[in-house]
Structures are given as C-alpha cells and as structure tokens.
Structure 1
Amino acid sequence: MEKPPAMDILPPPPPAIPSGVKPERLETPKCLPIRRSGFGKEGRRISLLTNHFKVTFGAMDGIFFQYSVSIISDDKRAVEGKGIGRKVIDKLYQTYASEFEGKTFAYDGEKSLYTVGSLPQNNFEFTVVLEESSFKRNGSPTEGDRKRSRQSYQSKLFKVEISFSAKIPMKSIASALKGNEVDNTQDALRVLDIILRQQAASRGCLLVRQSFFHDDVRNFTDLGGGITGCKGFHSSFRTTQSGLSLNMDVSTTMILTPGPVIDFLLANQNVRDPRHIKWDQAKKMLKNLRVKAMHNNMEFKIIGVSEKTCNEQYFSLKVKNGEGADGEGKTIEVTVYDYFVHHRKIELTYSAYLPCLNVGRPKRPNYLPLELCSLVSLQRYTKALSTMQRSSLVEKSRQKPQERIDIVTGAMSNFKFDEDPILSACGISIEKHLTQVEGRILNAPTLKVGNNENCNPHNGRWNFNNKKLFSPIRIERWAIVNFSARCDISYLSRELINCGRNKGIHIERPFTLIEEDHQWRRAGPITRVEKMFELLRSKLPGPPEFLLCVLPERKISDIYGPWKKKNLHELGIVTQCISPTKINDQYLTNVLLKINAKLGGTNSLLAVEHSPCIPFIKETPTMILGMDVSHGSPGQSDVPSVAAVVGSRSWPLISRYRASVRTQSPKVEMIDSLYKPVESGEDDGIMRELLIDFYQTSNSRKPGQIIIFRDGVSESQFNQVLNIELEQIIKALEHLGETTFPKFTVIVAQKNHHTKLFLDGAPDNVPPGTVVDTKVVHPRNYDFYMCAHAGRIGTSRPAHYHVLLDEIGFSADDLQKLVHSLSYVYQRSTTAVSIVAPICYAHLAAQQMGQFMKFDDSSDSSSSHGGITSAVSFLVPELPKLHEKVRSSMFFC
C-alpha cells in the first residue's frame, strides 16, 4: 500500500486562517485552564435542585496545622494498616489528651494528622500500649499451649512520633471562592474531607476514597458469586460559584458476602456440594481475608489453607501429666478435628473431610475448621465483576430521583456533621436541604434523514419508522456465520433483508449461510474461528465485503476477540457480531444502523451539517477529536492500557470519524503516542494518521481549528492534558512541516462525578438538553453540566464539561449548542447520548481493539509469584494493525 503524502508537501492553508498555538507557548510557564468567559442565555429556564449542601463558615482566618505521624511496632516495623493506625492514634489520644491541652485532631489513617491551630509543641514521642485482643491478632485455642495462650492476650507496644510538617491557611478557601488561583486550596479542602472521613471511621464504616459504607444489611444487594453490592455515601467539600458546598451522593462498592466461609465458597464457585470446591482456587480467593471464629468470637486473618483435611491435619498439643499434676505435662499429636470435637466439645458436622483455614503465621500455623469461621463484613472486593454481576449491580443500584433525594437529605440529618468538634472549631455549619439552581433546556437539533426529510427528536429520541437512512449502502457479497445452536439464521436473513429494504438499504441474499460444525463447539475460541474460516473459504468464490456473525452469548463470548482480530487485522472484512434473543423490527433496525455506518453509509445528519451552517465550523476547516484511554480490569496490573483517538473527517461534516488506537503502559492515563517519531524519521503516531486522513477527505484542506474532547481525566490532570498531550499534537504538526498552527479548543468531559440534578417539585428526571453553568460550577474555571439524554431508569447523571482552552473563541451559547448537537450524531443509536459522540466512539474503539489482546495473553505471563509482582520492566505489546481495507472505516460503530 502506498503511504499517504507527507503534509509538508501539501499546499499551505489560506492566509485567512489565523495562527494558533505556538510550540514555544508550551514552555515554562506551563498552560493552565482558562477562566470562565461568560454564561449561556439560550434555552427555556427551569428550576432545579442539586445534591450540594451550602456550607457557611466564620472569618476563615484560622490555620490548619499538619503533622507527620510515624508508628513503629515493638518489632521495629512501620505500621501501615489503616485499621491499626486508627486504633493506635485513638488510644494515644485517650492516654495523652492532656499533652495536647485538649485540642482534637483529624487523622487520615496513614501518615498525617491535622489540628485547628498548633499543638503545644512541634515534636512529640509517645509509647502506646494496645491489648492484643483489641486489634484481633490472637492465637487460637487450637494451639492448646498454655504459654502460647498467655501470649495471645499480652499487650503490644507502639512508638508514635508526631512532628510539625506544614501550615494550611483556611483563608485559601475564601480566596478561591472569589475566583483567585490559590496553591493550597485543595490542601485545605482535603483537611475538611478528612474530618468527615474520621467521623465515618469512628462509626465503624468502610472507607473507600471519599466514600463510606455502613455495616447494615439494608444496604446490601446480593450480586451472586459470593459478592455483595454495598450502598453508602460519597462526601466532598467543593468550592462553587455560590460558595463552599458539601457534595453528598449515594455511592456503591463491592464487598465479599459476609457469613459462613463455606457458604461463600459454594457461591463463589457456583457449586452445591463442598466436595466439588476447587481448593487451589479457594486458597487464592481466601488469602488475607478476615474471619471471625464462632467458638471464641475472635477475628483472624487467613494466611492459607491446610494441605490435609481436618481429620488428617495434626498439630502438637501440650496436656497435663494427669489430673491435678503440677508437672510440665507432655506433648501429643492430635488432629484438628479431634481437638475440637473431643477436647473442646464442639460438634462439627461436615469439617472432617475438608481442609482447615490457617490463621497463624507462616512458621507458626494455627488451624481452624471451616465451619467455625465466618467472613467479617465490609471486606472490599476489588476484582472485575462478571457481566451478570455487573448487570445485577446496575439494575439493583438504580434509584428514582425522589428516592435519591430522600436518602441523601436523610443522611445529612442523621450524621450530624455540625456536631463535629473540629468543624465547630472552624466555624463551619452545613445546611440540611438541597441547593436550588437555575437550569436551561436547549432545543434538540433537527436531523436530516433519507429523501431529504427533516426529523425532529422528541424527548431526546427519534426513530426510523416509515423513514429511510440518510445515505444507505448496498450489500452484495456477504454471508452469515452461526456459532449459536439456538438461532435460525435463515429466518434472520430474510427479516434483515426486509428491514433493510424499508430503511433504504439494498441487501442481496447472502451468498451462504454457514453453521458451525458440531465437533468444534467444545474447542478453544481461536480454533473455532479458524475452522469457521476454512468453511467460508470452501463456500465463497472470493472475499466478502461483509460478514454477519451470530455469537452464542451476548457480550461475554470468548469468540468475539479472535473473530474481530481475524476480520479486521488479517483479512480486512467488515463484520457485525450479534446474539439475538428476540428478532423484531426494532432489534434489526439497531443492527442495520451499525452495519450501515461501518460500511460507509450515514444514518442521519444534523440539519446544520447538511446546510452547512454550524457556527465557527462552516467558515474554517475544523477537526474534532475524541480521546480516551481504556485500562485493564481492577486487579490486573500487567494488562496494557489502550489509548484511542477518533478524528472527524469529510469537513464540514461532524458525524463521520476515523479511529487510531495504540497500547501504552498499564494504568497510565496520559496518551503517549499522539506524536511518536520512529527511526526512519516518519511520525508513526496517532495524530499523523488522523491529520492526513482529514486532509484527504476534506478537499485537500488542512484543519484551521481543532476541537479536542478528552475523557477520563481528573481535575488534578488538567494541566497534563494541556502540557503533555496538546504539546504532542503540536509536535506532530511541526513534524509534518507546519509553521502556522490551528487554533485549539480543549474540553474535558467527566461522567465519574457525584453532582446530580433534580427537577424542583417533580419526581421525574430532568429533561434532555438541560444545562447548568451557574451556582454549583467552579468559581474560577470554565465548566458546565449538561444532561443531553433522556433518563428513563434511575437518576440521570449529567456530563461535566471543563473547557481548558478556547482559542477559537466560542461564546458560551455556541459551545453548549455544539456539545449538545454532538450528542445527537452517534450513528449507533436513535437517542441522544449522555456524552459527546466522539468520546463514545473513542471508548468503543479502545474497547474493541483491546479484545485483540485478551485471548493472546496467558495468565502465566505476568512476573508474579505469591502475589508479589516482580519489578521487571514492563514491555508493552503493540496492537495488531488494522487491515488497510477497514482502517478508515467506522469499524468500532
């Protein structure tokens, strides 16, 4: 394949295009997010409530003093467990309160504590005594040894050093509320958050970042597999345009289902009989979990599972030399089972033939029968959920708007934050009712469909009933392959052709319908795919332009990755995977929308694209980018992250996109392959590919403006987006020979936040098109909330857009209308999406290409042993490249 021409030999842009960002602008001082330039005015006004609670405070002239905390146990080891740390500090305060002259402090559970005003001195050193039983590391009666039994209850000493670290003025919050850029505002807000976290910890809550969860069965939802969803609350102090507020929201985390260990293992492995438990798997799952022993009500940490069963596992038991004897006694060997049944007189019903739990130390085992142990509540589960568990969590976590309002306002009343002595010392009080804000409802954009018809979405939705697609394709050489035993592909073929005809898509009869050979259904996924292609080659005269693939299971099929890789990487065939449960017109229409977009058709356009008359875009060639990074599942530290960028093509359209995808180091959020020169001197990065594609599809015009939508970054990473990613884009332009640069607008979109919007006085979700850019937004930065979609189930979550840079110079109204319109160009759907389509596409592209690696990876490939990952450098594998025939298609759609 010939390489596309380098852009340095292309004609220069017209002089009318102004210079934009210069590379030297990104040198020190670094770029910072811009200030808000104005507020939107368009749209119908609407009264809303939001889950922010107004915070009032005194003069804010106090100072938080930060102190470093070091806790060393009597065996000279630093204490790192948050639970132990809090117990030690609580005991320290009880013992030495007079040393602090009655001053209370907030402890973060790790290495810092904070006070309002200073402590009497800068450095302290204390010895704290904790009873062994108070932090649940007792020996077990199974040891039977009186000497060791005495050790079970001995005290343990901790050396605690407290030393002054820094001052954090509270007035920095007041200054930030006035719109000033103050360095330590976030530090001061973090202290306020730590105060609330400490209060939650004192109530026995599980703390997860800025959320806390109570041990209350009313908050538990069974997800299957021994996993439970636990509802709690998120709380965070935020500076807003109307002052300081406390953002309170309902939050959910996953915990291991508390209760008998045997019940957990049966559920986790989906077996009914303990004899069918896979103990190698159980050993990995149980390690480091906390259990409570029913015979003595003590807690232990599991370090392993015995190799032998309870009635075969011996240990040494010291007994007296006869009744009343004063001698030292003798040592006998006894099984764990016999000890509990005969020496402790505890009836065991099924433990004899099961392994024991080892709750001792590596060189000092301590065995307990399985049926005497129950999992302690509020133990987090941090691994990836299965598809079924995830679906169950989503379904059971939904709350209608009024229900969420009632829960959050009830929590504000119950927790009595105002009574906290540290908040009182700060002069802080928090209102108990939701903040009222004004929103605006933007009108939905008009769409163009087939036959030049206008389509006006209603309540964020439209349909193709009695309508044709705007630009339908023809499908002539195609086939259907069936990996599912329950799908009638002859019926599917007929219905798909009929539905396509109604939508304007001309579909010939498929060249062939291929059923998988029964003998391969138990083979591995790669083998099944290869065997299917052997059948295809034997029945097709040449390569098809399209393949419809029927999978055996929706979303979770292990055939999906190998099938996509074979088609998109090796053969260059566009493919659509389905797993229909019910074949009707709505289902087939949704499938055809994807197929049409993938094969180069267009389902609908914005009417302003068709004119074209999009403000700021019609006059100047404008490229729109959507950027996202997809990371491995929780607990997978050695799975590469996948960075995807989609770029608009065929200006002045903003509905067509091309994707470019690369791998990068695990869990790294900043995209490092936007500009990536290789040894040959040719830029092989993402931007070169997208810029050349834009030029080739836009009448040989280079972009004079680039609008970037970035997903998935937190506020602390905004500067990196400007100073790392934007700098790479500029270097890519330089590498292509550019001397005059386009203007940039950079927008971060966040969905993972906790601000909700509610209708004032109505139980329904806010209507689609709702936008809020006052009161609860940032006091300095340029941000706004938009709910473009219609929330039908649960409570809608608005997208939170942050404008980091705007050299193009959009007015607030024009930018909000553009963002709103980009929620209506998602070709896979006939509903407005909750976040702009370019970001949705980038997410889909990263997700789909990430499937290429899943089935290539071996679970033994990571350098980990015994749960400890070795410190070898991680070599990031490259993604297989897309075949040239599908490279520019919307394969991800």
Structure 2
Amino acid sequence: MDPFNLDGVDGSDSLPPPPPTIPPNVVPVKAELGKITEPQKQSSNIKRLPMARRSIGTKGQKIQLSTNHFRVSTPKSDGFFSHYSVAISYEDGHPADAKGIGRRVMDKVYETYSSDLQGKDFAYDGEKSLFTLGSLPCNKLEFTVVLDDISSNRVRRDGSPGGSPNESDKKRFRRPYHSKTYKVEISYAARIPIQAIVDALRGQESEHFQEALRVLDIILRQQAAKQGCLLVRQSFFHESLRNLDLGGGVEGCRGFHSSFRATQGGLSLNIDVSTTMLIKPGPVLDFLLLNQNVKHPHYIDWTKAKKTLRNLRIKANKIEYKITGLTDKPCREQMFSFRQKSGNVEGQTVEITVYEYFRDIKHIHLIDSADFPCIIVGKSKRSSYFPLELCELVSLQRYTKSLTNLQRAALVEKSRQKPNERMKTLTDALRHSNYNAEPMLRSAGISIDSQFTQVEGRVLPAPKLKVGNGEDLFPRNGRWNFNNKTLIKPVCIKRWIIVNFSARCDIRYLQTSLKKCAEMKGILLNNPYDIIEENHQSRRDPAPVRVERMIELIRSRLPGPPQLILCILPERKNSDIYGPWKRKNLSELGIPTQCIAPTKLNDQYLTNVLLKINAKVGGMNSFLAVEHSPYMPLVSKSPTLILGMDVSHGSPGRSEMPSIAAVVSSRRWPLISSYRAAVRTQSPKVEMIASLFKPVYDTEGNITDDKGIIRDGVSESQFNQVLNIELDQIIEACKHLDDSWSPKFTLIIAQKNHHTKFFQTRSPDNVPPGTVVDNKVCHPKNNDFYLCAHAGMIGTSRPTHYQVLYDELGFSADDLQELVHSLSYVYQRSTTAISVVAPICYAHLAAAQMAQFIKFDDLSDSSSITSPGGVQVLELPKLHRNVANSMFFC
C-alpha cells in the first residue's frame, strides 16, 4: 500500500470535525464555486438597487477628526454641460490615433478658432469626448489645423539613421517633415444638466449625476495635462516632484489623486497622495545596467533588454522617438543604405554601417556602444538606427512590470508619511493647484474650500476574546498576545517531519525552540519523526524536480503520512520551490505543510508560525467571546453562514495569467472564526466571479437560514452586477438544495482601494483602532461607513470603506458596524486587529496560494478550459479531500 494514498485514512488528528448534520428534508448537495462560464443574466426581472441608509450609529466614544475631503460650493443648478464627440483624422481621412496627439490638436483648435467657438472654454478628455458649459454655436463643427510634426527628422526617407537634414532637405521635404494637417469634427452628443449634481446631493436618483461628476474630473485632468503632468486615471504626476529611487532603474513618483464626490455634507473634492512607478530617465545604457543589475554592458541580456525597452521614449539629437526594437547585429556591423551628397548634388547610394556613418559623416566617436545593438525607431519600412550611447530615456514614463520584493519594500519604506506630514503635503498640493482659477469651474459657479472637512467619528470598543482554560483576553490598541496564555483549541501533532531545501538553518535549535514554544501555547508537539535534508547538488535543478526528489525521500523514510510537514525554504520571498511544493502536498497528497525561511528564531516568530500551524491542522487560536453566547446581533438567533469573496489578478506584465476567484465560508455556526475555501480560475482581469453556482452531489453541506456576504475588490460601477448577477447565483445554489428554502441575505462590499483618510484633530497620531465614520463624507443616500479597525503603527492609516448593498436580515447601523468590527479580530494568523474583515483576507490568501499551483505550468500542456469568449484558461487542480475542508490557506 502506498503510504501516501490517504483515501480512507482516519484524519481525526489533523482535520476539523464534520459539518452539521443535514436536515432530512434537504437533498445532500454541496454548492461550490463553479467552473468558467460567463456570468449568466439574472432569472428574475426585478433589478435590485443599493439600499438606502436606515440610520447612523451611536455606539462608541466620540472623536473629532479631519478628512482629506474639501468642500465644493454647489454649482449653478440652472446650467448644463454639453457633451460633444470628437473625431480627429489626417488629411487622407485615416484616424489620428497617435498617443497624446489629441490634446495638441485640440489646443491648436482652441488657439486658432476661438471666435468660431464663441470664446467658450472646453474640457477635453484626450480621446473622443469634449464638454462645454452651455452649447457651442452649432451641433456640428469642422476644423482644419496644422501642427509642427514632433516626429520630423526622426525617419529619413533615404534610410539614414536620423540626424538633422541639410538645407536642401529642408526645402525639398518642408511639408512632410515639419508640419502635419489634421481634420477635426466636433458633433453634439448629449446634454448633461448640472441640476443632476444638486439632486444627487439631496439623495435623489439622477441618471446624469455620474456624467456630471465625470465632466468636473475631466476639467481637473485637463488642467494637469496643460501643466505637463503624467495622467494615470485620476492621478497626476509632475517631473518636478521628488522621486523615490527603488533600484533596478525604477523610481516611485509621488503625485496626487483628485476626484469629486457626492457626500452627506455636500459636494467635495477628495485629494490624496498617489504614487506610480516610473522608468529612471537618463542614458539608456545606465538604465539597462541598473535594470539587469550588472556592472558592465557586456553582461547585458539583450533579449531581455529588447522587451524592456520596446515602446519606451528616448531623446536623441534633441528629438523625441519611440523605440520599436533593437538590431540583431552590433553597431559596427549593422548596415543601411546611405545616399551620398556633394554640396547640393545627390550622389549614389552606398551601403554603410551605423558606426561608420556616425564616425565619418556625423564626426561622432562612439566609445561605449560600437559592439552593442542599435536602437530602432520608426516604422519598419522607414526605420532609423541610433547607437545606445546617444540615446536618453525621457522623463515620466511608467514602469508597468512587477516590482521585485526589494523594490516593493523600498517603495513602502520611502513612501510612508506620518499623518501630519500627509496633511501638509495635501494642503500644499491644493494651494499650488489653484483650482479656483480654472475658467470652466468659475463659470459653473464652483469653488473649492482650502480647509480639511471636519467630521465626528466614534471609537468602538475592542471585542473580548476567549483563549485556553476559559480565560478572557482583552485587546489593547488593537493588539494582544499569548504570553502566559494557551490557545483555545490546541492540536496534538504526533507525527510530523522537517524538510530542508538547502537552506542555512540550525535545525536542531529550531526543533527545540519550536517544541518549547508549542508547549507554552498548549500544543502537544512531539519530536519530529525525521529531518530530511536535500542533497546540495540538487540546488541548481528545476524546482519541480527538486520537489519530486524530496517527496521520494519522504516516501522512502516514513511508514505513513505525517500530520504536518515543516518546510524550510532558502529564500524568504518568492521561492520557486513554494508553488510546486504546495501543489504536491495539498492537491496530490493531502498533507498540511508550513513553509518558513527563518532569519531570527525569537519567541514572536515562533508564535506566529505556531498560530498558522494550529489553524491549518484543525485547531483554533482564539474565539470572540460572543461566538458562544446569544449576544451576537441577529447572527446568534438564527443559523448563519458568512461568505468572503475575492478575485486576484495576475501581476503587471502577466496579462495571460488567469484571474483566481475565491470564496470562503464560515463553518460550525454559531462560530464565525473557522472557514473553508473554494477556489477557481477565470478569464484574465475579470473582476466579477463567473458562475458562482455549480451543483456537486455528495454527503456534505452547510445548511443555514441566513447568509452574510462580504465582497472585496468591486468598484461602484460594478455594484449592480454584484447585486443582480452574483447574488442571484448564490440564491440559485440555495434553491438547488431545497426549492422551498429561501434564506435571507446581507451583502456588503469592502473597498480598500479608495482615497479617503482620517486624521485626529487634536493629535499627530493615527486614528485609534475601532474608529468608525458614517456621516458627513459618506454617501448622501446609500448605506455605507468607513472603519479603521487596526492600529496604524507607521504611515497614515487607511480605513476600509464598507458599502451595505442589501440587507434582508435587518441589521441596525450599530449592530452591523459592531459585527464587521468583530470580524477584524478573528484572523487566526496574527495577534492584531486587521484592516479588513478576516473572511476577505482568507479569500485573498486562498486565491494567492492556489495561484502558485499554476505559476510553473505551461498552458499548452496543462488541463485547461475555454470560456465562451474563446479565452483558454488554466484549470486549477482540486484540493485533496483531506485538506479541502481545512484552513490550508492560513
């Protein structure tokens, strides 16, 4: 018998107890997260809308706060914006789609034809939409403008590698090289009443409200563009701002986000510090050396360099170009056709190298790049070549690849700002922006206050926790510890092993220290059954090969499956061993595994490791005191399931990687601390979860009367999809269990990626943990609140924005805020309150861990499925049944 064939093996030592008994009137069916299909349309014709606020909360100690919302005067309600579509084309009728050309053309239109526009200012989005206050004189206007061609001299018709043409060239090619003619058509599209903003501020529905706010945001974007800023959605970055060196030729550029928001206190402008990644400007060779971390150009990987440089902008000969590639041959060998000239008389065409051209014709001696590829600019039939040392990367170019761990750490460290520092930065930004001088805003009667909005918050008390021996534990400042405490449900681990993938570690000391720490927490941890070291000669082998060899070693030295494998990795982050190791153990073998890469084996580190191990192997570290009492609002009165949902996307630069959707659900009501997870792949960059319902017949299920759903990663524009597609699929899953079963639902969106911050009015410190705000800067109608559950130790705390879209359970504002706050204290991996509720964190962890399963797969060789849109997506391997119900993700 294969000792790792765990089918039928009693897993009572390592697995959680079975789920509740299924009622006799319910078909034994399990509703799982479905495979990839496009989201189905709702079966009902009823369209749900986000619910209105029923009340505001009153519990907690009041605290005075400032927020980075700046009051905006109400615009003139009798006015309107006119929306026009813009079409820009060349003389021959082909669309002019070059990036950035639209703003230059429209600036020229305004400069040349101001009288035809009756002097009206307009807001242009840089693409196909233009807005004016009031109407233009005609519903359709056509203009012709001539621009100096910024790409003139980039590509010579004779194929020469660039440079300034002589006087005869200027005369002969003056029109095509120095100017370009554009046709502009402006056509009326829609009328947007400003009254829509006023109506929305009163809590009334308005179909034009979002369009009106978009116009205001475009006005600010246009002003930033005229100041030479890089625009990234609603954030602006200027080269005059101090950049943060992140290493590898990458800089973090600090800029500002701004957006108009409708709030209970009226219209406000939300301004926040924003950061984006930029290519470090300067010599191309210097950038490549930094980017590839090499000391000499001879060590540059030119295949990698070609991918990195493609589409970046350079300046050579005082002219800006876009890189289209690198030559295969070095500068000394790269030939092109050169048309010789003697005075004003053209001679014959000869073949010459790029090196010879610059040396003999341009009289430039190349020192560093003669033996390296040339940069190619221009289209394939009219391309030109430049030696690397003559090219410099221009400023404000975004870096879109994934950051390394070191770069990410440097970004976090260098971009931190204490609350009082951030407030000063924002105050200065608002003053320098001079928004009140913007003509269209002034004409619309809009002005922006320079003072932070004052709001009243409340600090909710931390929930009481239960730990071992029936003891109570009272968190202080969002933190607690297990000093002289035991875990509430410690596990007994009799057979476990340690494996070491060539990491430098004193394993005997680790073993002794871990066992001692475990005893103090109440965990019975025997000595490891075996310690298995990888053969050092295997270190250079591919990760999957190393994993297979380690598994074979384990098979040969163990009589049966261990309850736990402690795996020591050589790298602390992003080890290539991690993915194949987790996949092998969780999918094929069904063995919980804890990976570590210890640097300091102190008590805090060991405690954190044991907290994860205890949860993975079926134990629990702490509970909320109210979980075993009838005092949890509504949840204690009726069997309730809490779902956490999240979708994780591939890293920047990996657009082919599928998105990973994860749903976690609470287990063993009335507990809200224990969860299981279901994870599936879906089409890349798709945020909505595809096919939440798929019936799988078995003997297991969680049958509940009520469901609380907390969804992460959804923008306001997708609320209706969550309400009317995702929720419908969950209801369908419930009806599949029993046609007469109609549980009640509460649906909450948790948003972390927003720009609202809170500051204590009378203290330079972060807001205290438990700070909740549900007034003044919240939505004028919808049911939302901000909660900062955690203690911000560094930087400025970011609250989570909770939007209650649907509530059939009938929570009061206080009860719901208290429940959400409590869910920030049930995260079994740590001894601190977390910034977003635990079910969301668990869903994110499950998705991230399962994403490692496919990290090393080749799409063509792996099990895959095809979505209706024709996108081939890798299918995740299923979890082994011995770990499927565990908190493997913890």
Scaled by the length of structure 1, the TM-score of the pair is: 0.92
C-alpha deviation, 1:624, in angstroms: 0.5
Residues 611-626 of structure 1: pairs in structure 2 closer than 5 A:
611-626=629-644
Match of 1:208 among 218, 227, 232: 232
Query: CA contact under 8 A between 1:448 and 1:610: conserved in structure 2?
Result: no
Match of 2:877 among 863, 877, 880: 880
Secondary structure of 1:35's counterpart equals coil
Match of 1:550 among 550, 557, 568: 568
- After superposition, the C-alpha distances for 1:527-574 in whole angstroms (9 at most, x for unaligned) are 000101111111111111110000111121011011111110001101
Match of 1:235 among 258, 266, 269: 258
C-alpha deviation, 1:386, in angstroms: 1.7
Aligned to 2:450: 432
Alpha-carbon distance in 1 for matches of 2:328, 2:525: 63
Secondary structure of 1:411's counterpart equals helix
Alpha-carbon distance in 1 for matches of 2:21, 2:484: 46
Aligned to 1:93: 110
Alpha-carbon distance in 1 for matches of 2:326, 2:42: 61
C-alpha deviation, 1:142, in angstroms: 3.3
C-alpha deviation, 1:153, in angstroms: 3.2
- After superposition, the C-alpha distances for 1:94-140 in whole angstroms (9 at most, x for unaligned) are 11111101001000000000000000000011111111137895659
Residues 392-791 of structure 1: pairs in structure 2 closer than 5 A:
392-676=410-694, 683-684=695-696, 692-694=700-702, 702-791=703-792
Q: Which range is displaced more, 743-752 or 145-154?
A: 145-154
Alpha-carbon distance in 1 for matches of 2:272, 2:603: 39
AA in 2 matched with 1:153: Y
Secondary structure of 2:121's counterpart equals coil
Query: CA contact under 8 A between 1:55 and 1:429: conserved in structure 2?
Result: yes
Matched, 1:119 2:142: no
Query: CA contact under 8 A between 1:33 and 1:803: conserved in structure 2?
Result: yes
Alpha-carbon distance in 2 for matches of 1:364, 1:76: 21
Secondary structure of 1:231's counterpart equals strand
- After superposition, the C-alpha distances for 1:592-626 in whole angstroms (9 at most, x for unaligned) are 00000111111011111133421211110011000
Secondary structure of 1:817's counterpart equals helix
Matched, 1:281 2:299: no
C-alpha deviation, 1:24, in angstroms: 13
AA in 2 matched with 1:303: T
- After superposition, the C-alpha distances for 1:34-54 in whole angstroms (9 at most, x for unaligned) are 000000000000000000000
C-alpha deviation, 1:817, in angstroms: 0.4
Aligned to 2:96: 79
Alpha-carbon distance in 1 for matches of 2:669, 2:780: 36
Aligned to 1:142: 161
Secondary structure of 2:660's counterpart equals strand
C-alpha deviation, 1:10, in angstroms: 3.5
AA in 2 matched with 1:259: G
Query: CA contact under 8 A between 2:264 and 2:776: conserved in structure 1?
Result: yes
Secondary structure of 1:381's counterpart equals coil
Change (3 A) 1:59 1:328: closer
Match of 1:250 among 254, 273, 284: 273
C-alpha deviation, 1:189, in angstroms: 0.1
Alpha-carbon distance in 2 for matches of 1:722, 1:545: 42
Matched, 1:160 2:181: no
Query: CA contact under 8 A between 2:464 and 2:472: conserved in structure 1?
Result: yes
Change (3 A) 1:89 1:59: closer
Q: Which range is displaced more, 460-469 or 872-881?
A: 872-881
Query: CA contact under 8 A between 1:205 and 1:212: conserved in structure 2?
Result: yes
Query: CA contact under 8 A between 2:153 and 2:177: conserved in structure 1?
Result: no
Alpha-carbon distance in 2 for matches of 1:420, 1:114: 15
AA in 1 matched with 2:384: N
C-alpha deviation, 1:436, in angstroms: 0.5
C-alpha deviation, 1:338, in angstroms: 2.3
Q: Which range is displaced more, 624-633 or 871-880?
A: 871-880
Secondary structure of 2:882's counterpart equals coil
- After superposition, the C-alpha distances for 1:802-858 in whole angstroms (9 at most, x for unaligned) are 000111001100000000000000000000000000000000011111111111136
Alpha-carbon distance in 1 for matches of 2:21, 2:477: 46
Secondary structure of 2:346's counterpart equals coil
Query: CA contact under 8 A between 2:82 and 2:190: conserved in structure 1?
Result: yes
AA in 2 matched with 1:409: T
Alpha-carbon distance in 1 for matches of 2:541, 2:511: 27
**Pairs aligned (count):** 855
C-alpha deviation, 1:362, in angstroms: 0.3
Match of 2:61 among 26, 44, 50: 44
Query: CA contact under 8 A between 1:8 and 1:736: conserved in structure 2?
Result: no
Alpha-carbon distance in 1 for matches of 2:520, 2:560: 29
Matched, 1:128 2:129: no
Change (3 A) 1:860 1:135: farther
Query: CA contact under 8 A between 2:27 and 2:737: conserved in structure 1?
Result: no
Change (3 A) 1:806 1:136: farther
Q: Which runs of 5+ in 2 are unaligned?
A: 1-6, 9-17, 29-39
C-alpha deviation, 1:387, in angstroms: 1.8
Matched, 1:28 2:29: no
Change (3 A) 1:885 1:156: same
Query: CA contact under 8 A between 2:647 and 2:713: conserved in structure 1?
Result: yes
Alpha-carbon distance in 2 for matches of 1:136, 1:483: 57
Query: CA contact under 8 A between 1:138 and 1:300: conserved in structure 2?
Result: no
Aligned to 1:55: 72
Which structure has more RCO (C-alpha within 8 Å, separation ≥ 6)?
Answer: 2
Q: Which range is displaced more, 222-231 or 253-262?
A: 222-231
AA in 2 matched with 1:826: Y
Match of 1:306 among 327, 347, 369: 327
Change (3 A) 1:575 1:318: same
C-alpha deviation, 1:187, in angstroms: 0.3
Query: CA contact under 8 A between 1:477 and 1:546: conserved in structure 2?
Result: yes
The alignment-based identity, stated in percent, is 62
Query: CA contact under 8 A between 1:570 and 1:883: conserved in structure 2?
Result: yes
Q: Which runs of 5+ in 1 are unaligned?
A: 14-22, 677-682, 695-701, 864-870
AA in 2 matched with 1:850: A
Matched, 1:835 2:836: yes
AA in 2 matched with 1:85: G
- After superposition, the C-alpha distances for 1:268-310 in whole angstroms (9 at most, x for unaligned) are 11111111111111111111111001xx311011111122211
Aligned to 1:268: 291
Change (3 A) 1:58 1:666: closer
AA in 1 matched with 2:631: C
Alpha-carbon distance in 1 for matches of 2:223, 2:510: 59
C-alpha deviation, 1:630, in angstroms: 0.8
Query: CA contact under 8 A between 1:593 and 1:603: conserved in structure 2?
Result: yes
Secondary structure of 2:884's counterpart equals coil
C-alpha deviation, 1:11, in angstroms: 5.5
Query: CA contact under 8 A between 2:196 and 2:209: conserved in structure 1?
Result: yes
Secondary structure of 1:852's counterpart equals helix
Query: CA contact under 8 A between 1:237 and 1:247: conserved in structure 2?
Result: yes
Matched, 1:361 2:361: no
Secondary structure of 2:450's counterpart equals coil
C-alpha deviation, 1:634, in angstroms: 1.9
Alpha-carbon distance in 2 for matches of 1:26, 1:791: 45
